[in-house]
A and B are shown apart, each in its own frame.
Chain A
Amino acid sequence: MRYDRELLVETLVAHQRYDVGGCVSPVEKD
């Protein structure tokens, strides 16, 4: 696996929680 999926989702969930009006989506990085 090229990235840590749990860490990625954790970061996005935290961002989504506090970013009013913004909608984020995970991007797989090489």
Chain B
Amino acid sequence: MQTLLPLSEANDMTNYARTVRAGLAPLAAIFSGPPNPLITGPRGPAPVRYDRNTSDSRVYLAQLSAIERVPHRILRGPEIQLYVDQVMAMPWPRWRQGAQWGVTVNVMFDATFALYRSGVITVPGAVQEPVVLHEIAHHFAPVPTGPHGTRSPGHHGPAFVAAYLDLIEHVMNEEAANVFRQCFVAEGISVQ
């Protein structure tokens, strides 16, 4: 019988395979064993790479939780501007800054988030009602900028939260506002 490899070389290959297997053993243990807290990746939760203790992150997390629990409309295309016009036409108190001026809606179909800047709301083609109210709340509670265009803290501070809850309560309903309030409190945001 003809062997494919000389015996000595075959032995070498066996030893090589054995060495490789021994070398891979720790890796195999990692990938087949219980979840290793030192390894982050597909197996474990993604590491948190942002500060959870800022008003921005707290408001975002609270809003995402609340939207899941509150029945809401999905606004599409041209009806977003109509919705915003209706909200702005409501009898808001004069001390609500910005309520005297209209808000322009810019629908950008490939937008991945909603954005408010200087009286213009940019939204994707379909957007949830509370997200539009979030942007109108920025119109009602403008953020003062510091010297040289620097940002002052409080983008999503107490003035914003108060305006947002006010909008949710009067445009949607009181039950929705209560859910939002609970979610804000759960994230450590103080509400009135």
Contact = CB atoms under 8 A, between A and B. Distances in A.
Interface of A: 4-17, 20-29
The secondary-structure label for the interface of chain A is helix
Nearest 5 Cβ contacts at the A-B interface: A23-B138, A25-B134, A25-B114, A13-B50, A23-B116
Interface of B: 45-46, 48-51, 54, 56-57, 60-61, 63-64, 67, 111-118, 123-124, 127-128, 131, 134-135, 138, 143, 145, 149-151, 155-156
Nearest to A14: B50
The secondary-structure label for the interface of chain B is mixed
A21 B118 CA distance: 8
A27 B131 contact: yes
A26 B52 CA distance: 15
Contact of A16 (B111, B124, B150, B155): B155
Given A7-B46, A28-B128, A20 B149 contact: yes
